[in-house]
Amino acid sequence: MKYFPSLCSALLLAASSGASAVPFYLDLGGNTTATADYLTTNVQAQSTLQNGSCSAGVCGPNANSTFSEEGHGSATGIFRNPNTPLYSAGLGNNWAMSFDYNDLGGNFNNDGKVFFDAGGHINVSYSEILGFDQVSGEVVYGDSIKVAQLVVDSGTAVMGDVALKGSLDYSWYDQAVDDALAEGFFGTDYGSLYELWLNDDNLVWQLNFNITDNMSNPYLGDENSAVRSSSLNGKFAIVSVTEPGTIALFGFGLIALGLRRQHSKS
């Protein structure tokens, strides 16, 4: 087993303007991207509300409501700050990086604040692009290779402002079964995220963002089940924060919570 020195500062996989970017690259198994500051992402997300309060098919949460979240998205570009595109080794043409989740959920309190249940997962995967269907024009993908897993430990949201926390877990990875690409896919000067996990560094992540672009998109359905869909754009980057011995992962725009911003009248 290979060990690496503990981090002197935390790494935060994030879209944050107030932190110092840590350069990273993606190792595609013999070919690597340029060393970048962030990836751009797009996610098609769906939120389902149960036991909501509805009127004419338009629904909102109450203290008895629960919700579930699922979504699928992809990385769309690799950049240096502030917005310089970099060599991506053919992202979108030769290969794809995707984000998937289908087991996130939680409940609401009397004030409409959201509480996420622990145990949900966000999976990150890699796949080759084999070509394009001549009839439909759709992309034809090769096998999907899982390269990382984020586990939700807790989370809250109020008035559209979302904060999730959790851990980065590689316990699912089996060298005898899974593709070795996962071991070095995310690379930094500190080593790969997998190597840091092996070294028992405390790998945690945060997901903080605001969904104001979707405030006008309500839940539609009835009290038993109401659904809203959203297309979310965001960034995926690594930044440095001052918390010794911790590596924190921070994404942007992965959850489509059905909250509406409330404006108080003065």
pLDDT of residue 56: 96
The Cα–Cα gap between 252 and 12 comes to 12
Give per-10-residue mean pLDDT for the chain (266 aa): 40 49 85 90 88 94 92 92 91 94 90 86 95 92 95 78 79 96 91 86 65 67 93 69 56 52 33
Predicted confidence at residue 180, as pLDDT, reads: 97
Helices (H), 82-142: none
**pLDDT attached to residue 243:** 56
* Strand 145-158 with 121-132, pairing: antiparallel
Q: What is the pTM of this model?
A: 0.81
pLDDT score for 158: 67
CB neighbour class for 62 (10 Å; exposed up to 12, middle 13-18, buried from 19): middle
For residues 234 and 227, the answer to whether their CB atoms sit within 8 Å is no
What pLDDT is recorded for position 6?
40
pLDDT of residue 9: 41
Cα–Cα–Cα angle for 122, 125, 126, rounded to 5 degrees: 165
pLDDT of residue 100: 92
